Structure 1
Amino acid sequence: MTHHILPPLGLALAAGLLIPWLLVRARWTQQVPRLALTAWALCGTVFALSAAVLPAQLLLPGRTLHRITDTALALDPPSPGRLADASLPEAVAAVAALVVLALPVAGFARELLRARRARARHTELLRLVGRYDPALGATVLADARPAVYCLPGRARRVVVSSGAVSLLTDRQLAAALSHERAHIAGRHHLLVAAAGAYGAVFPRLPLARLGRKAVPLLLEMAADDRALRACSREELATALYTLAVGHAPREAFAAGGPSAALRMRRILTPFHPGHPALRGAIAVTSAVGAIAPLVMACCALPG
């Protein structure tokens, strides 16, 4: 039984502790945020699946594990009669696996519902005090403080304060609007909800604790990169500087905010995107390539 439990345990430890620790200390993550976000998402998926497999590895004998593995690889789901004849250890292992998988899924749904309700309340407020500007494609809010933010989801909209309209040039305002539309098009609120769910379900896990802080920042950087396709670095950096003091609802994505200074420095600092991306891709691929044969070998050994 020992060799069977090592692969999922090792994967859970790597995805839940080691790789998140390496990601928050790596420089390439801020240069290629989309690759870094993919790495965070893979860590979350691998940890959940590995943790779900552990109860079966602990409770079931080797022959049963091999039979389940062969059935899964053959894409042959068990019949209702086979499920009814499952032994007590098999039933306990199945229930434990479902509970482990259900925890982050339920947390994800709860985060989405909570954020959706908050955005709905803010949308109703905007209908009363805001004014839609078809030229900007955004709702203008009478407020002297410069702010640009978006409300993602079904009732998606971009909001601009009158202070931002008066302080930003047309090109700078267009850059800020492109940044917010990148959040909406990329459905970034789903990744924020996933990071929040892990943080709520596994608060002490480094994957959850570190990811809850890293993912929103990487999403802002990814939106910056998308906006730079239609504007210059100087225009976007100036817009971020002007909007840094602006305020936005908690459930919204704001162009400015506390991360503006770090993102301005990143935007104005030249870098070669190919080098860190290649290094990060090689690191992730190497880790997966090194672990996959071990998992397959251990699962194939007789119990």
Structure 2
Amino acid sequence: MTALVIALVLAAGLIALGAWGPKLVHAAGPSFRRRPRIAVGLLGTGIFLWIAAALSLAPLLVWAGTGPQILSDRASQICVSCLQATNPFASAQLPWAPPALLTISFSLLALAGLIAIGLVRLVRTERSTEQLSRDLHAQGESRTIAGATVLVVPDSRPLAFTFPARRGGIVLSTQTLHQLNENELAGVLAHEKAHLSQRHHLTSQILEALPLLVRRIPLVSATLQSIAELQEIAADNAAQREVDTATLASALLKMGGGSAPSMPAERQGVAVLNAAGSGRIQQLVGAHAGKTNFRPALALTLCFALLGAAWLAICTPYLQALLQGCW
């Protein structure tokens, strides 16, 4: 099998998973909800494996053929020597191909662009989060509630959310304190503390750094939505170790958790995680009911594993040549 055939197979697999992967993600939802923290790690890793495999198509195509010479003789000899050292398909090369330098440069430029855009998005998110935290700290007051340090802000809406720990941690509104009883409040605080202890903000910020073009890929979009849901379920699971399910469900109902997030518009686009969320009460009440089909989750895991194996198989020879030298 030549490098060109493998590249075509890999490209077809990437397109198929990118387009129809959301069906697998959705079908795997019930099994993922049983182990939400493991599922978040799997799905987050899967996104980056898909991107890595897509970027490795260009280095793979370089092995498919010799291509025209666009460098000086000396530089060309060095490049040919390095490529021959990495290429397991040297005996099956085609007499035509794009220049290797241009092909690899495309992949490197794409990688550099992803990193640059990601850093810009991270900086913007960090600045927005810092500004919102500063504004809320100017309005609110710090209190100790049920052993947790909480920023209480005046607001007529029942709000509960967390900043990253370095930006202030848990925030509650005065309406939340007014509406919830002691046990319900303990459940909400346990939920928010779980976001902090399980470092959900870090995961969310890393994924938020993905460029919009990547986020519009159906697989990536569905995966990001699933990760957000699973983080809330993981926090709910932690809260259920502090209070009973009925109490936690009651708190979510009072905060609007049965319909839409109680997050005001001005707080969107920053690194905060809120306690309310769509479908959470139904998930709490019906958690782990009935049999679960694990086959979609296993199929998705296998797809990600194959992408990771392909990426390693392509990149390892290049890395070895770079570290050991090839001339």
TM over 0.5: yes
Please say if residues 122 and 208 of structure 2, whose CA atoms lie closer than 8 Å, have aligned partners that are also in contact: no
Greater relative contact order (CA < 8 Å, ≥ 6 in sequence) = 2
What CA distance in whole angstroms lies between the structure 2 residues aligned with 1:199 and 1:98?
16
Please say if residues 7 and 295 of structure 1, whose CA atoms lie closer than 8 Å, have aligned partners that are also in contact: no
Q: Which residue of 2 is the match for residue 266 of structure 1?
A: 283
Return the offset for 1:54: 1.0
Return the offset for 1:143: 2.1
User: Would the alpha carbon gap of residues 208 and 280 (structure 1) be closer, same or farther in structure 2, given more than 3 Å must change?
Assistant: closer
SS of 2:171's partner is strand
Please say if residues 158 and 173 of structure 2, whose CA atoms lie closer than 8 Å, have aligned partners that are also in contact: yes
Please say if residues 150 and 157 of structure 1, whose CA atoms lie closer than 8 Å, have aligned partners that are also in contact: yes
Q: Which residue of 2 is the match for residue 236 of structure 1?
A: 248
Task: Indicate yes or no: 2:111 matched with 1:101.
Answer: yes
User: Would the alpha carbon gap of residues 230 and 108 (structure 1) be closer, same or farther in structure 2, given more than 3 Å must change?
Assistant: farther
Q: Which residue of 2 is the match for residue 54 of structure 1?
A: 57
What CA distance in whole angstroms lies between the structure 2 residues aligned with 1:134 and 1:190?
25
Q: Which residue of 2 is the match for residue 186 of structure 1?
A: 198
Once the two structures are aligned, what percentage of the paired residues are identical? 25
Q: Which residue of 2 is the match for residue 201 of structure 1?
A: 213
Q: Which residue of 2 is the match for residue 82 of structure 1?
A: none
Counterpart of 2:274 (choices 250, 254, 266) is 254
Please say if residues 149 and 180 of structure 1, whose CA atoms lie closer than 8 Å, have aligned partners that are also in contact: yes
Return the offset for 1:296: 9.2
Return the offset for 1:10: 4.2
What CA distance in whole angstroms lies between the structure 2 residues aligned with 1:153 and 1:177?
14
Please say if residues 15 and 43 of structure 1, whose CA atoms lie closer than 8 Å, have aligned partners that are also in contact: no
Matches within 5 A, 1:113-192: 113-135=123-145, 136-152=148-164, 154-192=166-204
Q: Which residue of 1 is the match for residue 91 of structure 2?
A: none
Return the offset for 1:215: 2.6
Which ranges in structure 1 are unaligned for 5 or more consecutive residues? 71-87
Task: Indicate yes or no: 2:37 matched with 1:34.
Answer: yes
User: Would the alpha carbon gap of residues 293 and 151 (structure 1) be closer, same or farther in structure 2, given more than 3 Å must change?
Assistant: closer
Larger radius of gyration: 2
Please say if residues 23 and 36 of structure 1, whose CA atoms lie closer than 8 Å, have aligned partners that are also in contact: no
Return the offset for 1:45: 1.7
What CA distance in whole angstroms lies between the structure 2 residues aligned with 1:128 and 1:296?
50
User: Would the alpha carbon gap of residues 292 and 187 (structure 1) be closer, same or farther in structure 2, given more than 3 Å must change?
Assistant: closer
Please say if residues 103 and 201 of structure 1, whose CA atoms lie closer than 8 Å, have aligned partners that are also in contact: no
Task: Give a deviation string over 1:232-258, Cα, whole Å, max 9, x none.
Answer: 11121111111117435222211114x
Return the offset for 1:198: 3.5
RMSD: 3.4
Scaled by the length of structure 2, the TM-score of the pair is: 0.72
What CA distance in whole angstroms lies between the structure 1 residues aligned with 2:307 and 2:107?
22
What CA distance in whole angstroms lies between the structure 2 residues aligned with 1:66 and 1:188?
45
What CA distance in whole angstroms lies between the structure 2 residues aligned with 1:42 and 1:215?
11
Return the offset for 1:53: 1.2
What CA distance in whole angstroms lies between the structure 1 residues aligned with 2:224 and 2:301?
24
Which ranges in structure 2 are unaligned for 5 or more consecutive residues? 67-81, 89-97, 316-327
